[in-house]
A and B are shown apart, each in its own frame.
Chain A
Amino acid sequence: MNRQMGHWNRPEVIEAVHRMKPLAEEAGVSMAQFALAWVLREPNVASAIVGVSRPEQLAANAAASGLKIDPALFEKAEAIAAEIPSA
């Protein structure tokens, strides 16, 4: 897991995530909701487990259930993620 934590903090990962922001905006959802909706697009997923430090975050996350997001936006996000060079 430590290795993965390092993975998330790399500048190229942060930069890629910033590039995904307009996609979430286009979908009219927050970045967190976009990320959760992406996980839930997969029918073999039953549930996305979220951790929160404040109750308000949970309400925002729960709103990701049932979101209809244009698959083209997901594809664009996937393409951005695919461009991240491996560590």
Chain B
Amino acid sequence: MRYRQLGDSDLTVSEISLGTWLTFGVGIEREKAIASLDQAFDLGINFIDTANAYGYGAAESLLGEALKDRPRDSYILGTKVFVPMSETDYGLSRAQIEKQLDASLKRLNTDYVDLYQCHRYDVDTPLEETMEALTDAVKAGKVRYIGFSEWSPKQIQASLDLPGVEKFVSSQPQYSLLWRRPEKSASRNGRPSRSRLRWTCPVSRNSSPANHNIPCSGGGRKRRSFRCVLKTGFPRSSGRRWPRACCRASMCRAIRRRRTAVPPATR
């Protein structure tokens, strides 16, 4: 197994990592999940990715149990927040981040996660509130690094433009030979194809490049490579979706906001 650095973090992750969506705690038998985890360690896999919403906590609970006898520093653990856990618990508000992180830590049977990721962007919460809550989670030692999944270049840039908050180190988009949209985001503004995935590279701990398509490079600044955690493999069925009402309500609010022309940075 080979390893690569995760963005600007100190995390060195295996090139192949173990995901738990639709499998751990829900799709496959417990014994098979635990055997897969053991197998992962035997193969040199050191990064395990989950989310609070996978099996509505079931994936995290199973991991918490299966990992309890392994030294905490022998693996890198990532989880996520945003997707509804109930009719009222969803999104990236400060209250939700605090509540869901504590619930995740309890299920995972650990004091901290290495990577805490925003599962999607929350149009209903001001970005400042989300980033400040994540920053406080890092300061409290509950989270080592933060990341996101499926945010748009504009949303990423807006987060980087906020002063005094923790910067994202990872992006987890869907990406494969059949789904190359993350690359298209890079060329949308007429950039050459070389820019490829670099739209996700603006994340440089101490700098915030003006143009998200040419991040981490240029101007004599040392190029700081931003690496993405990428998801491959597509499951057969997506199981229970988040409540329709939530989606609708959130869409309506988003539309209303757009009509009242609130600048994206203040959303």
Q: Per a CB cutoff under 8 Å, which of B7, B36, B198, B234 touches A8? A: B234
Query: B2 at interface (Cβ–Cβ under 8 A)?
Result: yes
Evaluate contact between B36 and A46: CB separation under 8 angstroms: no
Complex Cα gap A4–B175 (Å): 12
In the assembled complex, how far is the CB of residue A69 from the closest CB belonging to chain B, in whole angstroms? 12
Evaluate contact between A48 and B16: CB separation under 8 angstroms: yes
Query: A72 at interface (Cβ–Cβ under 8 A)?
Result: no
Within 8 A of B (CB), among A58-87: 58-59, 61-62, 64-66, 77-78, 81, 84
- Known contacts A43-B225, A44-B201, A45-B197; A51 and B177 CB within 8 A of each other: no
B 122-157 binary contact with A (CB < 8 Å = 1; else 0): 000000000000000000000000000000000000
Q: Per a CB cutoff under 8 Å, which of A2, A43, A51, A66 touches B23? A: A51
Residues of A near B6 (CB, < 8 A) are 46-47
Residues of A near B43 (CB, < 8 A) are 58-59, 62
Number of interface residues of A (CB under 8 A): 41
Within 8 A of A (CB), among B157-183: 170, 172, 174-180
B 215-249 binary contact with A (CB < 8 Å = 1; else 0): 00000000001111111111101100100000000
Complex Cα gap A49–B198 (Å): 19
User: Which of B44-52, B62-70, B102-110, B250-258 lines the interface with chain A?
Assistant: B44-52
Query: B86 at interface (Cβ–Cβ under 8 A)?
Result: no
Complex Cα gap A22–B172 (Å): 30
Evaluate contact between A49 and B172: CB separation under 8 angstroms: yes
- Known contacts A46-B227, A48-B15, A49-B18; A39 and B7 CB within 8 A of each other: no
Residue ranges of B at the interface with A (Cβ–Cβ < 8 Å): 1-2, 4-7, 13-23, 27-28, 32, 35-36, 38-40, 43-45, 47, 49, 170, 172, 174-180, 196-198, 200-201, 225-235, 237-238, 241
List 10 A-B residue pairs with CB atoms under 8 Å apart, sorted by A's residue number: A1-B238, A4-B179, A4-B234, A20-B177, A36-B232, A43-B225, A45-B228, A64-B15, A65-B15, A84-B178
